[in-house]
Structure 1
């Protein structure tokens, strides 16, 4: 059976909601899902699933969540060949070119790890709205479709 680990970093609750929506959509697709907060997640445990998802915020001018820095460092040195990944997150378009930079950083680190992109990254402005719920459901469906090809 295909499994997924979804971690989130949130300051306002928006990215926990993003993670919840991804988890709900994965569960509807028949995936066994584990959801945890990034600072409470051991990277070694995270990488045991078939599908790996990070939902994290960006603050200020492109800064990563401090609580996720150790996790990110572990990701940068990991070999995730054979895993499927996806990255989603909310940010504030007010920051222009820095909007959701953390999503880009995690996406690049996953790609460098040898994991296979299962879905295009999803960037949400502030909190998820109705159209974002649909985008996240499609994101989850794409992850599952890619993972099933590898299993």
Structure 2
């Protein structure tokens, strides 16, 4: 089964929890999930995996958080053709652009040639009990979709 990088930026712990739950789902489906904060890795590390899930919380008016910016800029150097990918994150519907960082990440993945294999996962704040299972399901489905399209 696939080795998947799950890289995220989290300030309050909400996006980190989403990432952990997604990684659980990948492992439940028989995959290997490597969980890393974007502050502890660089975009080039994507090349060491078969698939990638990137996540961030949304800052301000739909922006990437500061700690994701270096990773995002490093992605400019990558050719992700053939990579399976998806995005996830947390946000606040009180802002005019809900989970805008997730959309920016997905667009960057597409721009660099990655194949987006499933719709982004967007969670308001941190996951409630039902959303925790949604996050695990997201991970399981990602791995299953990667296997199906390989």
| Pairwise same-fold verdict (TM > 0.5) | yes
Mapping for residues 45-56 of structure 1, pairs under 5 Å:
45-56=45-56
The answer to whether the 8 Å contact 1:6/1:53 transfers is yes
TM-superposed CA distance for 1:142, in Å, is 2.5
Describe the superposition over 1:31-75 as per-residue Cα deviations: whole angstroms up to 9, x where unpaired. 111111111112112332112011200111112111111111122
Which blocks of at least 5 consecutive residues in structure 2 are unaligned? none
> How far apart, in 2, do the equivalents of 1:2 and 1:68 lie?
25
Mapping for residues 16-55 of structure 1, pairs under 5 Å:
16-55=16-55
User: What does residue 71 of structure 1 align with?
Assistant: 71
SS of the residue aligned with 1:73? helix
User: What does residue 112 of structure 1 align with?
Assistant: 111
After TM superposition, the score normalised by the length of structure 2 is 0.93
TM-superposed CA distance for 1:110, in Å, is 0.7
SS of the residue aligned with 2:55? strand
Equivalent residues, number? 150
After TM superposition, the score normalised by the length of structure 1 is 0.92
The answer to whether the 8 Å contact 2:43/2:72 transfers is no
CA RMSD of aligned residues (A): 1.4
> How far apart, in 2, do the equivalents of 1:81 and 1:149 lie?
17
Describe the superposition over 1:95-130 as per-residue Cα deviations: whole angstroms up to 9, x where unpaired. 03x211000000011111111112210111111112
Mapping for residues 1-151 of structure 1, pairs under 5 Å:
1-96=1-96, 98-151=97-150
> How far apart, in 2, do the equivalents of 1:49 and 1:19 lie?
16
Which blocks of at least 5 consecutive residues in structure 1 are unaligned? none
The answer to whether the 8 Å contact 2:7/2:38 transfers is yes
